[in-house]
Amino acid sequence: MRRQRQGGFLIAQVHLLAGRIFERMLRRNGLDINPAQGRILFPLWQDGPMSMQELARKASLGPSTLTSMLDRLESAGYVTRGRSARDRRKIIVKLVATHQEIFEVWGRVSQEMAGLFYRGFAAGDIDRLEGDLRRILDNLLEAERDSKPP
């Protein structure tokens, strides 16, 4: 009997464990934001205000998940939502303030996390792994596009 491949299972396990460790590291550094919320805040830090549709795409979240997470982030004072001046149908999400200190802590913890991920890896190994993961991601994105109803 041929051994079943475990790549998907291993990626899921890495994702779950890394999320728990990352959240603990953030809290240890005085930041009460979970990694899922960071998936929303990071694109806003990087690119500034954007529509909910664009944010959902960049954060890889469905509309209802994004809405409930934005509710919590808005209650905590991190983001606001408002109508676009150009297109009143669009809702624009933006950071309440630059939150530079939060972004700096997030960046420091992210670098520490990368150190954990790649401990013992040579640079070429890291490049190869990241290339392979990008290929897997591209395969999955293509499969998702192909499986969406017209």
Q: What is the pLDDT of residue 12?
A: 94
Q: What is the pLDDT of residue 98?
A: 56
Per-residue pLDDT tens digits for 125-136:
999 999 999 999
Residue written as token pair 């919590």: 72
Average pLDDT, the chain: 89
pTM over 0.85: no
Per-residue pLDDT tens digits for 21-51:
999 999 999 888 888 888 898 899 889 899 9
Three-state DSSP state, 62: coil
Q: What is the pLDDT of residue 99?
A: 66
Per-residue pLDDT tens digits for 62-105:
888 999 999 999 998 889 999 988 888 899 999 886 567 777 88
Strands (E), the chain: 50-51, 79-83, 91-95
Could you give all domains of the chain from N- to C-terminal order, each with its CATH number? 11-110+122-147 (1.10.10.10)
Cα–Cα distance, 97 to 80 (Å, whole number) = 10
* The two structure tokens encoding residue 83: 């109508």
Cα–Cα distance, 29 to 95 (Å, whole number) = 21
Q: What is the pLDDT of residue 24?
A: 94
Residue 41 in contact with residue 95, Cβ under 8 Å? yes
Strand order in the sheet with 79-83: 50-51, 91-95, 79-83
